[in-house]
Structure 1
Amino acid sequence: MDQGNKSDLLNLPSGEFDLLRSKISPRSSLECIYNDASLSIRDAGKYQYSLIVKKVSDDNDSPLGDDDEEFSDDTRSVLSVSSKKKEEEWIFPFSENLKFLKTWTKRGDVAFVWKNLNGDEPGEKVQFVISHDVQQKDIERFLEAIYYCYYETKYQRPSLSASKEAMKEIELICNTPMGEDLSDKNRNELDSENEEFQDASDSVSNKNRKKAGQPKRAPSPPVTAPNGKQTLLLSADLYLFDPMAENFLKQESKIKVSIIDVGSYSYWLSIEGKENRLGTDISPNNNATFKTTDKSFVFNYTFENITLSYKLQFDDVQDFKEFRAKWTESVWMSLNKEDWNKVPPIEKEYINDPAESLTNQLNEILHIDDKNDRHRESAIETDSSSEDDEDEENSRTISSSSSFGESNRSVLSGKKSQNGNQSLTVSSKNNRSYVIRDNKIGVFKTDDDLEYVTTIKNVSNLKGDSFTPLTPMMYMEDSSMILSDTLNRNKLYKMDLNRGLIVEEWTTGDKDIVQYGPTKKFDQLTAEQTMVGVSQTGIFKIDPRISKENKIVTDQSKEYKTKFNFSSIGTTENGYIAVGSEKGDIKLYDRLGIRAKTAIPSLGESIKHICTSADGRWLLATCDNMLMLMDLTVKAGKNQGSVAFLKSFPAAENAKTYILKISPEHASYMMTYMKKPILFSKAYFNTGVGKMEDSILTSTGPFAITWSIKNILNGSERPYTVKRYDSNVVEDNFEFGSNKKVIVALKNNVSLAKIKSFKKPSKDILIPKETINEFYQ
């Protein structure tokens, strides 16, 4: 760690600071010192560090007056019973005697606890409860720094010299509730001759490795459910997914399962038995899946960077349905912050329907427009059977550090792009792909292999000001590209790709552009100059030929008085328009300037991106941890056979929606490997003029993922395949006109992969062999 000037090295900006007293204290066991405080690590000299707690300033706080002179005795102990003084900065010199520990409050909030070595009462501790506003990655980074402080203060040597075993033991001590009691055994091992735990063969982590195949992993605190109103209490059997054997092992029978309303539209899942007790906030991050066939509920549970997959199996089908309904209701209310009772009955039915097993929807789906579906499936079968026999594992990768003009020397010195690749655009006519990296655009040729062509450097506006381009869109027969800029959200820029220069700038007046796209799906193949876009409150057409500075076509635009928070837009081959919002609802139009033909209610999750099939039957919406595949065919009534862009659904019908998720079992591998939740990139259909959309592509972390629409319709339990890379996938898309090749922009590389190289997910595909041990540590 840095041994320079004394300074705060890392900071957690927000949390609650409390004093914890022992049970024998006559005073209250918990006293809040600061409602809003920050916690930082300060460099206090060579191999010396301090924890610093500061009160976050509040404009409403009044300064201390003369009445506070009674607290001027600095000899009184910090935060002790005998001292009422509440300074604005508290300093705790770091050492192993501090007994620093990561833990959880009863509400499930992450907290750090350590001894108040300056306290007057025996057993006094302090607690810093981290605010929900602080991101998990920042907490993990702070905790990692604590491990290094622990090592350096104990051994008075740089942490760079620490062995992997040494750091794992320190991590165990700081993350184990009985960490203070580990000194008799593990701390002796820490003090062995080599001082770096090389011989710690009997350590707790090594013992746990020997237990592979017995995933009886203790669940995380809190051991007590938070206070609130119990809205549901049922009984179920509890299973835990064994990541080595790849199956569920029974943990306990007849365990109590409850859902608790803790207020402010927050809900808690509590599972309590004789041997197992766990609890978690109810949110989309649970990655919940319901399986009607065996009346089970499977969900992910993250504990100390390990993501486990648990299953609740209900004996009674009525209990299963009751739990599913209450879970769906709780998730919806937590996302929308609205009362479920105010939702219209038809919308409730739609919100609950995607939770059904796809198998239950099969008969209804396959018997509608049966002739068309048989033709569609026949086309898919024919196409897949004609695949060639090329080597399925080959994929050509180009190092973008050199391709973007970054020399090996700059890469080694750490001066390469901090952001890496940021977006990918695939052209339609000239086999080119464009990758944005800072203010440069890399150009790659995608024929049989991937070949670097050139780099467009220093993207600048007409004034010569450099900027990082965003949301690239191919334009005018792929001879140009439309770009946007974070700092000028009401502007679009036209780049001439032959010259590599911005040649035109267009404004949209006072409307900030949230997202934009072609007026018709394949307009980039033509000389069409117009495009469509959305602001938070409106939908509009842009025509650069308008003589005014504002290029919005007034009579082909729709502005809403209500702020819908529009977030995404997609169009079909005929120019039908789909618009998604941050709230999660979707509006469908047959043309601009009029009211929506169809409004699809929100399932609660924000829509990040929309892609439509050319014919308007399918709509694909990307949310954070799920995709929604919607069949927009009207199934009944006088408009039967039409699509919802043209005719609305009858009152008793809504879009048939397939929820596409990574199964909790597979997600447990992926999230443990990534150390973060599932977060999908923009999802796309394979596309091409006259081509049938039969595949879906997206990514999360280092995983590229493709779904087969045929397998989704057939009710396949795992309708996706996966390809794992060595670094994170920024964005991926199909080669235009093909469902066999995929262009993948990684953080520092670009790859051309064959769909045949994607595999059915398993532990061997999803996670490196050495990482599987993390489940048993």
Structure 2
Amino acid sequence: MVSDKIKIEDEELVVLEEVNKDARKKEVSKQVNSDDGLVVIEDPVVVDRNVEDDDIVVKFESLNVKGNPSGVEESGNESDDLFVDAAEIKKEDEESIGELLYASACQLYIFDSVAEKFVLQESSAKVSLYNIGKFDFWFAVNSNSTELGTAINTNINPTFNASKLSFIFNYSFSSVTLSYMLVFENKSRYNLFKAEWCKIFWMSLSKRSWADITKEEQNYVLESAIEIEKQLDEILDSDSGQERNISEDSEEEESEEDDEHSKRIISSVRFEESEQDKSASAGNRSLNVAFKSNRYFVVRDDKVGVFKKAEDDDMEMEFVTAITGIKTLHGKRLDPYSPMLYMEDTSLLMQEGSSSNKIFKMDLNRGEIVEEWSTGDKNVVQYCPSKKFDQTTSEQTFLGLSDKALFRIDPRLNTPNKVVQDQSKEYSTKTNFTSIGTSENGYIALGSASGNIKLYDRLGIRAKTSIPSLGQEIKHISSSADGRWLLAVCEKSLLLMDLTIKTGKNEGGIGFLKSFPAAENVKTYILTVSPEHTLYIEDFTKKSLSFTNAYFNTGIGQKEETIITSTGPFAIIWSIDKVLKNDAVPYHVRRYKSDVVEDNFEFGSASEVVVTLKNDVSLAKTENFKKPSKKVLFPNGNINDFYG
């Protein structure tokens, strides 16, 4: 999947993406110091670890970047384990790598994480793409003194910028993540590389031949990689581009309010756990926000914690009660999974891990399971309200999804199997459905492991629109209330889809109700974290990016303005307005002291969010989220953090 969110200002580039931690042997780069500037080092230099961060060049002082942008003298200490040697990609051995699919001349830049800009590394380099068999592909950059190579996959986090004819990617070795940029001489070379990359990247993810998909599907994959144009008619009722909810301060400083453990955190000791129980616990697992009442429900092991906003301080979280020792009707311990609020927030539906064809109903007033429902031979992978806001009503039916079927569940049926047989859509082949979401009017969106998405205006008929795969599994999916927007979550990216039909006889309609013309594809905005921000996040967490469920702000009669998700200890919000305006960095972040399990908006608000951590629950305002920078993403970072 390719993102096009990059901007170059003066010498500074805002970038993104992350890197391949376990690519093959050739993936690590051989590095050599030369008079021409930084290349990868054979005998790297180690900075004195006792020197304060302000006095050293984090990461780059050891690499002899051309021009020494951080202005620090090189230390003389040496280490054998800072970098690992890599398999060289000799020019005479190129044929042994595999079938050469593309090669072009380019310039190579590297991101200086201290100066927070790209610096020229090689004025004359060559980028090559290889087919190494069985839908595996290889990406290499070579010059007289630099040799980089890696398997092509999502960890590269590829990002294009047409205005600068550039391609930015992340590269990892020995637990170190770097960001590089290729700049092409002219538009022709840039476009050829981009087209070939998109095809190869799609094939590497889907494990299918490019020739196997239709021309329309090919166009959708290629169009999704094109830079987003600034079109005022696509902006959601923007009022002069001003953001009410997200701070626009250019200089973001840490404040006392950033200590979330002051008064806004509710510790999970409220779950009535001893210290021994707490250490043995898997931690908080999910978050559900009530629509009808001031309540938040957090699942932890075989418990449900109930929280609320304090009456005298709307940013103070209070503990209400813990429902502990949850058991089935037969007395078996039940660890709830996939909880869903139901029947005006009076009940909580849930599954247990070992029984995917059973759904349990908990009465929240009684604090116990009161009903168990079977779905027969259908193993439920996910379920959701028949309509987006059914949670606010007494509606009893809801939708279930198996790997190849969509069906209605009605607990009132006087049979053990609660599936409504004449309100079911089953596919003869395994479609590998993974996720389901509905709109206010009951339009249905289904995501799949292959990345395909199907849109229905109602249950039991053929899909009105099928959106081709961009190569990655859809982990979670949700619709705006009116059905215009669709939000799909992949491992390292979010897909924001505009379902409005813009041409043909169905112009002005939406993909839930009408099919798109053959010549028009769903406009898809790929939301990612920029490569240089990914560098900071991965070096701070020592883990790859992995997005949790993402949500629009939502409320009856409320327009969707903002998107929230998280990765590791970072909660992230995207401004839809900024995405449509092609803002260089359309997201803000908030860092917590432990990983975010799930976050969501307060119902009816675009400015207040609820955040569940492993052992805590928190409230926050979106205005306190910060523009991403080294200071925010990698606080107090030093050479130990990068190489230690």
Return the alpha-carbon distance in structure 2 between the equivalents of residues 604 and 588 of structure 1.
Answer: 18
- 1:531-570 correspondence runs (5 A): 531-570=398-437
Question: Match for residue 75 of structure 1?
Answer: none
Pair 392,738 (structure 1): closer, same or farther in 2 beyond 3 Å: farther
What residue is the counterpart of 2:106 in the other structure?
236
Work out whether 1:377 is the aligned partner of 2:238.
Answer: yes
Residue aligned with 1:649, SS: coil
Q: 1:301 to 1:266 in 2, by over 3 A?
A: same
Tell me which of 137, 143, 154 is aligned to 1:273: 143
Matched, 1:459 2:321: no
Matched letter for residue 276 of structure 2: S
| Residue of structure 1 in register with 2:554 after alignment | 687
Do residues 510 (structure 1) and 377 (structure 2) align? yes
In the TM superposition, what whole-angstrom CA distance separates every residue of 1:692-730 from its partner, at most 9, and x where no partner exists?
100000000010000000001111011000001111011
Partner of 2:5: none
* Conservation of the 8 A alpha-carbon contact between 2:247 and 2:625: no
Please tell me the residue identity of whatever aligns with 1:524. Answer: Q
CA contact (8 A) 2:160 2:168 kept: yes
What is the aligned-residue RMSD (CA, Å)? 2.9
Kept in 1, the 8 Å contact 2:176–2:643? The answer is: no
Could you tell me whether the CA contact under 8 Å between 1:610 and 1:621 is conserved in 2?
Answer: yes
Change (3 A) 1:397 1:297: same
CA distance in 1, matches of 2:635, 2:505: 55
Q: 1:394·1:757 contact (CA, 8 Å) conserved in 2?
A: no
Matched with 1:446 is 309
Per the TM alignment, residue 336 of structure 1 is displaced from its structure 2 partner at its CA by 1.2
1:443-476 CA-partner distances (Å, limit 9, x unpaired): 1103512111111101111101002101111100
Structure-2 separation of matches of 1:521 and 1:234: 50
Question: Following the alignment from structure 1 to structure 2, what is the Cα–Cα distance between the partners of residues 385 and 303?
Answer: 36
Q: 2:200 aligns with which of 308, 327, 330?
A: 330
Specify which of 97, 118, 133 is matched with residue 248 of structure 1: 118
Aligned match of 1:222: 87
Once the two structures are TM-superposed, the CA of residue 400 in structure 1 deviates from its matched residue by 3.1
**Amino acid of the structure 1 residue aligned with 2:192:** E
Q: Distance in 2 between matches of 1:380 and 1:520?
A: 32
Q: Which residue number in structure 2 is paired with residue 713 of structure 1?
A: 580
Q: 2:284 matched to 1:434?
A: no
1:310 Cα deviation after fit: 0.6
Q: Secondary structure at the match of 2:637?
A: helix
Offset of residue 624 of structure 1:
0.2
- Give yes or no for the alignment of 1:296 onto 2:166: yes
Do the aligned partners of residues 199 and 753 (structure 1) sit closer, same or farther apart at CA in structure 2, a change above 3 Å counting?
Answer: closer
**Counterpart code for 1:526:** T
Aligned residue number for residue 276 of structure 2: 410
Which residue of 351, 362, 370 maps to 2:230? 362
**Structure 2-normalised TM-score?**
0.84
1:69 alignment counterpart:
none
Alignment partner of 1:726: what SS?
A: coil
| Alpha-carbon shift at residue 404 of structure 1 (Å) | 1.2
What letter matches 2:168 in structure 1? V
664, 681, 699: which is aligned to 2:531?
664
For 2:198 and 2:49, locate their aligned partners in 1 and report how far apart those are by CA, in whole Å. Answer: 51
Structure 1 residue 492 and structure 2 residue 359: aligned? yes
Displacement of 1:316 = 1.3
CA contact (8 A) 2:444 2:455 kept: yes
- Pairwise mapping of residues 167-246 of structure 1 onto structure 2 (< 5 A)? 211=61, 214=64, 221-224=86-89, 227-246=97-116
2:341 to 474, 479, 496: 474
Counterpart residue type for residue 465 of structure 1: K
Q: How does 1:138-153 map to 2 (within 5 A)?
A: none
- The CA deviation at 1:214 is 4.6
CA 1:255–1:532 in structure 2 vs 1: closer, same or farther (change >3 Å)? same
Counterpart of 1:757? 624
The 2-side partners of 1:199 and 1:712 are apart by 41
3-state SS, counterpart of residue 447 of structure 2: strand
Quick one: distance in 2 between partners of 1:609 and 1:659?
A: 15
Q: Secondary structure in 2 aligned to 1:321?
A: helix
TM-score, scaled to structure 1: 0.70
User: Which residue identity lines up with residue 489 of structure 1 in the other structure?
Assistant: S
* d(CA) in 1 for partners of 2:114, 2:517: 49
* 1:730 maps onto 2:597 in alignment: yes
Structure 1 residue 298 displacement after superposition: 0.5
Q: Secondary structure at the match of 1:648?
A: coil
8 A Cα contact 1:291 1:357, kept in partner: yes
CA distance in 2, matches of 1:386, 1:443: 31
Distance 1:501 1:730 in 2: 25
> Deviation digits for residues 27-58 of structure 1, max 9, x if unmatched?
xxxxxxxxxxxxxxxxxxxxxxxxxxxxxxxx
Q: How does 1:631-650 map to 2 (within 5 A)?
A: 631-650=498-517
Q: 1:282 to 1:391 in 2, by over 3 A?
A: same
Amino acid at match of 1:592: L
Tell me the alpha carbon deviations over residues 341-382 of structure 1, each in whole angstroms, 9 at most, x when there is no partner: 222111111101121112xx323xx346xxxx56x2249859
8 Å contact kept, 2:245–2:622: no
Cα offset for 1:560? 0.2
Higher relative contact order (Cα pairs below 8 Å, separated by 6+ residues): 2
Match of 1:477, SS state, is: coil
1:619 to 486, 505, 509: 486
C-alpha distance in structure 1 between counterparts of 2:473 and 2:60, whole Å: 43
- Aligned equivalents of 1:478, 1:598: Cα separation in 2: 33
Contact 2:59/2:113 (<8 A) preserved: no
In structure 2, the CA distance between the partners of 1:220 and 1:430, relative to structure 1 (3 Å rule), is: farther
Distance (Å, rounded) in 2 between the aligned partners of 1:615 and 1:557 = 24
Q: Per-residue CA shift, 1:201-226, capped at 9, x if unaligned?
A: 9xxxx998792695589786232266
Q: Deviations over 1:481-515 (max 9, x none)?
A: 11011100001011001111010011110110011
Q: What's the secondary structure of 2:377's corresponding residue?
A: coil
Q: Does 1:746 align with 2:613?
A: yes
1:416 counterpart SS class: helix
Q: Does structure 1 retain, via aligned residues, the 8 Å contact 2:423–2:459?
A: yes
- Separation in 1 of the partners of 2:637 and 2:595? 19
Cα deviation, 1:620-661, whole Å, max 9, x if unaligned, reads 000000000000001011111111100010110111000000
Conservation of the 8 A alpha-carbon contact between 2:58 and 2:639: no
Q: 2:88 is matched by which residue type in structure 1?
A: V
SS of equivalent residue, structure 2 residue 526: strand
Per-residue Cα deviation, 1:399-445 (whole angstroms, up to 9, x for no partner): 433111123x437xxx5244111111111111111111111111110
Alignment partner, residue 70 of structure 1:
none
- Is the 8 Å Cα contact of residues 112 and 118 (structure 2) preserved in structure 1? yes
CA distance in 2, matches of 1:613, 1:677: 29
Contact 2:297 2:307 in 1 (8 A): yes
Equivalent pair of 2:23/2:151 in contact (CA under 8 Å): no
Q: Which has more radius of gyration?
A: 1
Q: For residue 550 of structure 1, report the CA deviation from its aligned partner.
A: 0.8
Q: Give 5+ residue unaligned stretches, structure 1.
A: 1-101, 111-175, 187-197
Q: C-alpha distance in 2, partners of 1:745/1:270?
A: 41
| CA 1:260–1:404: 2 relative to 1, 3 Å | same
What's the secondary structure of 1:761's corresponding residue? coil
Q: Is the 8 A contact 1:104 1:221 kept in 2?
A: no
Letter in 1 for 2:510: V
Classify 1:496/1:200 alpha carbon distance in 2 versus 1 (closer, same or farther; 3 Å): closer
One-letter amino acid of the counterpart of residue 592, structure 2: Y
Post-superposition offset of 1:177: 7.6
The answer (yes or no) to whether the contact 1:568–1:608 under 8 Å persists in 2 is: yes
| Aligned twin of 2:634 | 767
Mapped to 2, the partners of 1:645 and 1:707 lie a distance apart of: 24
The more displaced of 759-768 and 444-453 is: 444-453
CA contact (8 A) 1:222 1:278 kept: no
Q: Deviations over 1:644-686 (max 9, x none)?
A: 1000101101110000000001000001111121100000000
Structure 2: segments with no counterpart, 5+ residues: 1-20, 30-40, 67-81, 249-254
Look up the equivalent residue of 1:410 and give its one-letter code. Q
Task: Name the aligned partner's letter for residue 244 of structure 1.
Answer: V
Relative to structure 1, is the Cα distance of residues 677 and 441 closer, same or farther in structure 2, using a 3 angstrom cutoff?
A: same
2:287 to 409, 416, 424: 424
